[in-house]
Amino acid sequence: MNQRIPVTELSDTFRGRAKEALADDQLRTNFRVAMDSLMQKRADAFPDEEEREGLRELGNRIKARALSRLPDLLEQLEAKLTENGVNVHWAETTAEANRIVHSIIESKQGSQVVKGKSMVSEEMEMNDYLAERDIECLESDMGEYIVQLDGEKPSHIIMPAIHKNRYQVSKLFHDKLGVEETDDVNKLIRIGRETLRQKFMEADVGVSGVNFAIAETGTLLLVENEGNGRMSTTAPPVHVAVTGIEKVVENLRDVVPLVSLLTRSALGQPITTYVNMISGPRKPDELDGPEEVHLVLLDNGRTGAFADAQMRQTLNCIRCGACMNHCPVYTRVGGHTYGEVYPGPIGKIVTPHMVGLKQVPDHPSASSLCGACGDVCPVKIPIPELLQRLRQENVKSPAEQPKVKDGGAKYSARERAVWRFWRTLNTRPGLYRLFLWGATRFGKLTPKNLGPWTENHTAPVPARRSLHDLAKAHLARAESQHTGGQS
């Protein structure tokens, strides 16, 4: 019997949550089906391998170039946006970012916010922060709307409600909105839209994320497919965009390959239905658009990653989600198992800088290092290499001064001693051969229960003779035959 566990009651460890997710057949089917389809869509969107690899290399270098000048570009962005009439705010922490957003809404005596999709606002837990201050935040992206309606968090950075199938959405709409159940996806979308349309008109403030912030022109670029992004950023009188500092790129030309990489990697689309380029508030001769535009630039640990040459590569990320679509672990356990805003392979490498390794001690280990994520990353972040690095930081003792926030979360003197013994065994040939001798001689005594290994396997019984032994005998025989033949 598969009883779904509400997200709020999930276990507090990765392994615990993984166990719960793995027992949920519906959840596993939903993810497998969705991820298979997304992998296929991406493959179809890049029919030419040479073009794809060239574009990925280009994307990587554009981001590397932008990051190499990050402080300069951010200053340029601020100057240009200010010139365009956009108010730029800096926030080192999510708490600061929330205070800024709240004070903007307060200054307008606002009580209703409509939101386009924004992962940074999830990082800030903006909805909760504002709700506590009697400000209603309504998610307008269909997926976000669904998870908000169900009191959940997004399980995927591009498709927040991908863990639900249409029947589950239908039931949710029936329960929460009192509408008739239907398995027609178009009808479901229409139901959602009818609710949202009114809210766009009533909202005091629209909040959105940003895909790319262009320093040269002071432009905020936002891609989306539902038109809700355009509505959120143009219908309400005030638009507040929130984004991470790593989203800045040098100029508009850089954006062309990056957008192509983003939409093709994420959903297999040549381009999204809407590409919004926001360059400032409504001008006197314009008919629509907000009267005020704000940009909140959030750090939240990003400068920590920036300071580390290897981990800086995490800031290349353009949030396409291809790594999770291709991840055999994510596919099986789903996004909620990660317990953080960013799930999947990218979540495992960006989260430690945001919240510290102590909060996500198992994230670096939750990978078989199969490399599928690194292979598909549109900006070539070497995710497996960075996971390995995080594992290093994770097992360091305090004396070894871990270089990642709250590193050493998995330091264990006992485990270190095991690896020291392993090292001694493998660096002293005599001892290693003695070990082989013992293991092969007493292999039959291998216990039936070898802890976690024997949960999934029978205990491996060593062979009766090691390869060292067999090879020695075989090669000696070959040698004697050879010399025998010569004499």
Partner 1 sequence: MTDLFYDAAPNATRVAPERPKPRHYPDKPAEVILFGTCVMDLFFPEAGLDAIRLLEREGLKVHYPQAQSCCGQPAWTSGYVDEALEVARAQLALLDNGLPVVVPSGSCAGMFRQHYREVFADEPDTLKRVESLAERTFELTEFLLHVCKVQWQDLGPPTQIALHTSCSARREMNTHLHARELLAGLDNVERLDHDHESECCGFGGTFSVRMPEVSGAMVLDKTRSLRESGAAEMVTADGGCLLNINGSLAKQKQAFRGRHLASFLWERVSGEVRS
Long-range interactions of 5-13: CB distance < 8 A, separation 24+: 6/151, 7/151, 7/152, 7/153, 7/336, 8/151, 10/336, 10/337, 10/339, 12/339, 13/362
Residue 335 is a binding residue for partner 1 (CB under 8 A) = no
Residue 308 is a binding residue for partner 1 (CB under 8 A) = no
Least Å from the CB of residue 55 to partner 1: 6
- Looking up tokens 């199969």 gives 370
Which residues on adjacent β-strands are paired with residue 274? 224
List binders of partner 1 among 424-443 (CB under 8 A).
425-427, 429, 432-433, 436, 439-440
What does the alpha-carbon distance between residue 471 and residue 437 come to, in Å, rounded to a whole number?
14
Do residues 35 and 329 lie in contact, with contact meaning Cβ atoms separated by under 8 Å?
Answer: no
- In the set 9, 48, 134, 180, which binds partner 1 (CB under 8 A)? 48
Least Å from the CB of residue 330 to partner 1: 10
Number of residues forming the site for partner 1 (CB under 8 A): 82
List binders of partner 1 among 463-482 (CB under 8 A).
463, 465-472, 474-475, 478
- In the set 27, 34, 38, 58, which binds partner 1 (CB under 8 A)? 58
List binders of partner 1 among 1-40 (CB under 8 A).
14-15, 18-19, 22
What does the alpha-carbon distance between residue 487 and residue 482 come to, in Å, rounded to a whole number?
9
Least Å from the CB of residue 27 to partner 1: 12
CB nearer to partner 1: give 107 or 401: 401
CB nearer to partner 1: give 179 or 370: 370
Q: Which residues of 266-281 are buried (b: 16+ CB within 10 A; e: fewer)?
A: bbbbeebeebbebbbb
- In the set 130, 147, 372, 383, which binds partner 1 (CB under 8 A)? 372
Least Å from the CB of residue 223 to partner 1: 17
Radius of gyration of the chain measured on its C-alpha atoms? 27
Question: Could you tell me which of 240, 181, 241, 253 has the C-alpha nearest to residue 214?
Answer: 253
The secondary element (H helix, E strand) that includes residue 331 is: helix 328-333
- In the set 371, 403, 406, 437, which binds partner 1 (CB under 8 A)? 371
Least Å from the CB of residue 431 to partner 1: 9
CA-based diameter of the chain, in Å? 104
Which residues on adjacent β-strands are paired with residue 112? 136
Q: Which amino acid is at 93?
A: T
Least Å from the CB of residue 430 to partner 1: 9
Question: Could you tell me which of 137, 133, 158, 163 has the C-alpha nearest to residue 148?
Answer: 137
Q: Which stretch binds partner 1 (CB under 8 A): 57-65, 86-94, 125-133, 219-227?
A: 57-65
CB nearer to partner 1: give 18 or 266: 18
List binders of partner 1 among 444-463 (CB under 8 A).
451-458, 460, 462-463
CB nearer to partner 1: give 178 or 485: 485
Question: Could you tell me which of 400, 407, 310, 300 has the C-alpha nearest to residue 361?
Answer: 407
CB nearer to partner 1: give 299 or 362: 362
Residue 251 is a binding residue for partner 1 (CB under 8 A) = yes
What does the alpha-carbon distance between residue 245 and residue 317 come to, in Å, rounded to a whole number?
12
Least Å from the CB of residue 434 to partner 1: 12
- Looking up tokens 């689309």 gives 269
Least Å from the CB of residue 310 to partner 1: 10
Least Å from the CB of residue 251 to partner 1: 7
- Looking up tokens 């386009």 gives 116
List binders of partner 1 among 386-425 (CB under 8 A).
388, 390-395, 416, 419-420, 422-423, 425
Least Å from the CB of residue 415 to partner 1: 8
CB nearer to partner 1: give 201 or 445: 445
List binders of partner 1 among 61-100 (CB under 8 A).
61-62, 65
Q: Mind giving me the DSSP string for 136-195?
A: EEEE-SHHHHHHHHTT---SSSS-TTTTS-HHHHHHHHHHHH-PPP---HHHHHHHHHHH
Which residues on adjacent β-strands are paired with residue 207? 115, 240
Q: Which stretch binds partner 1 (CB under 8 A): 49-57, 73-81, 191-199, 317-325?
A: 49-57
Asked whether the CA dihedral 254, 260, 263, 265 is positive or negative, the reply is: negative
Least Å from the CB of residue 474 to partner 1: 6
